[in-house]
Structure 1
Amino acid sequence: MRFDQLQMAQDFYVTYAKKAGFATKIRTTTFDKITKAPVNQAIHCNRDEIHESRVKAPMRKNTISAAGCKARIYVKFDKDVQDWVLFKVNLMHSHPCSPRKAVHYHEYRKLTMHAKCVIEDNDEAEIRPNKTFLALSNEAGGPSNLGFSEKDLKNYITARLRTSNVNADVREMMSYFMRMKDINPNFFYAVKLDEDCKFKSAVWVDARCRASYEYYGDVVSIDSTHGLPFVSFVGVNHHGKSTLLGCAVLGNEEITSYEWVFSQWVKCMGTAPQCIITDQC
């Protein structure tokens, strides 16, 4: 529940930032030492750092302005009201903000459902991407009103082809997840895709695993020794036997992949265990 409330706080600031004409990034998040739940978070303007290049200016093709912007908000979880509240706000930017240009920031560029339908229909009709982009631009009253670029359109076509030709196993897995969710609403799953809609990681926990965690979730081990990018969350019941508490598939074994899997699993369970044992620690 607290993760959902924190997401609402993040969405609130992002919505404001888009209208004001800048982009945001999460700078820090602090977690409770006992419950492991988030307790406060700092969300900054994405131009908060001062970038310095070792390459001399005449040799650089693209220079980055040194903003060092102090615009940010701090949110914290108020235990008395059981909700997230703003406790510090700085709305002053050290650089110009442009709502008109903000729609073209990477963070805000998104294809609408209408645009996706037009792109798919035109692609099947073998209409060139640049002509599709021109048609959508004219319909919106100009490229600046689209909210995405021609490159985004081409990337969507490429990702769609890759998904339809290569990700048959992923589609079958998604179908399985949705069937299980229909059978039992307590079935949990989360799938992570990259910017090109390519599969990265997945986590799933059935109703029995969620029930077992309430009793045997104090200490959880992570088993990833199968020789595949597959991990299982395992606890120990009162009889000293292993009990399954969830599964995941990793697109790679980078730390960020594990972090995402852990966060989704904790989100499902509601609380973090007292201890997590991995192959490394």
Structure 2
Amino acid sequence: MEFDTVLEAKDFWKSYGGMMGFDIRQLYANKCKLDNSVSSFRLVCAKEGQRRPDKRDHLTKQPRAETRTSCQVRMLLKFARDIKKYVICDLELNHNHILQIPKTSHMMPSQRKISEVQALQIDLADEAGIRPKETHELTSLQAGGKDVLGYTKQDQKNYLRSK
């Protein structure tokens, strides 16, 4: 499979992860020293690897739950200079953990996104004095349900706080 840009490959991996039920992240990207373009990069399952131990406090009474399981799912892409496209060099699709069901896959961080139209609705409701909870309920009713909306109440609060 070939991609014209890095963004196109990331969008493909994100949509594939959403359909299959796993969250995604970029592990690394190598850049060419001559023109500062991306020469290769690896996209992985978000549960790849292990979390480093917290060296600040070793006497933690309630440590955070372990979320990584050393999942080997990955996609390595390299830039082929002869065809000027990114080509998949390494692909592993076998998970070692339970995947999300399609009904809840919209809640994964990589799948949540506030569109420009939704951002405009949130801004207008905020300027009109409507509380964020009511705004979220209204937009979810207009979209046909919270699972179709594409973002959570917390995402909406973060958006309002960051603008």
Q: 1:142 to 1:130 in 2, by over 3 A?
A: same
Aligned pair 1:80/2:82, yes or no? yes
Structure 1 unmatched runs, 5+ = 161-281
User: Does residue 155 of structure 1 match 2:158?
Assistant: yes
**Is it true that 1:128 corresponds to 2:126 in the alignment?**
no
3-state SS of 1:67 partner? coil
Percent of residue pairs bearing the same amino acid type: 25
Query: Is the CA contact 1:49–1:69 (under 8 Å) kept in the aligned structure 2?
Result: yes
The letter of the residue matching 2:75 is I
Residue by residue over 1:91-127, the C-alpha shift from the partner in whole angstroms, topping out at 9 and shown as x without a partner, is: 1111122243332222322123342233223222212
Secondary structure in 2 matching 1:26: strand
Change in CA separation of 1:141 and 1:31 when aligned onto 2, cut-off 3 Å: closer
How far off its partner does 1:24 sit? 1.9
Change (3 A) 1:53 1:118: same
When the two structures are superposed, what TM-score results if normalisation uses the length of structure 2?
A: 0.78
- Flag the structure with larger Rg: 1
> Which is richer in helix?
1
Aligned residues between the structures: 156
* Aligned-CA RMSD value: 2.6
2:28 partner letter: T
Deviation at 1:67, TM superposition (A): 0.9
**Which digits, 9 at most, give the CA deviation of each residue in 1:79-100, with x for residues without a partner?**
2322111111111111122243
Deviation at 1:75, TM superposition (A): 0.8
Contact 1:129 1:153 survives alignment (8 Å): yes
Aligned residue in 1 for 2:70: 68
**2:106 alignment partner in structure 1:** 103
Deviation at 1:74, TM superposition (A): 0.9
In structure 2, what is the Cα distance between the partners aligned to 1:88 and 1:71?
Answer: 10
1:112 is matched with which residue? 115
Deviation at 1:36, TM superposition (A): 4.5
Within a 5 Å distance, the mapping from 1:127-206 to structure 2 comes to 127-160=130-163
Distance 1:113 1:82, change over 3 A: closer
Distance 1:22 1:121, change over 3 A: same
Give the aligned residue type for 1:109. Answer: R
Task: Identify unmatched segments of 5+ residues in structure 2.
Answer: none
Specify the alignment match of 1:20 in structure 2: 20
Of structures 1 and 2, the one scoring higher in RCO (CA 8 A, sep 6+) is 2
Query: Are 1:52 and 1:66, in contact at CA under 8 Å, matched by a contact in 2?
Result: no
Alpha-carbon contact 2:106-2:150 (below 8 Å) kept: yes
Change (3 A) 1:121 1:102: same
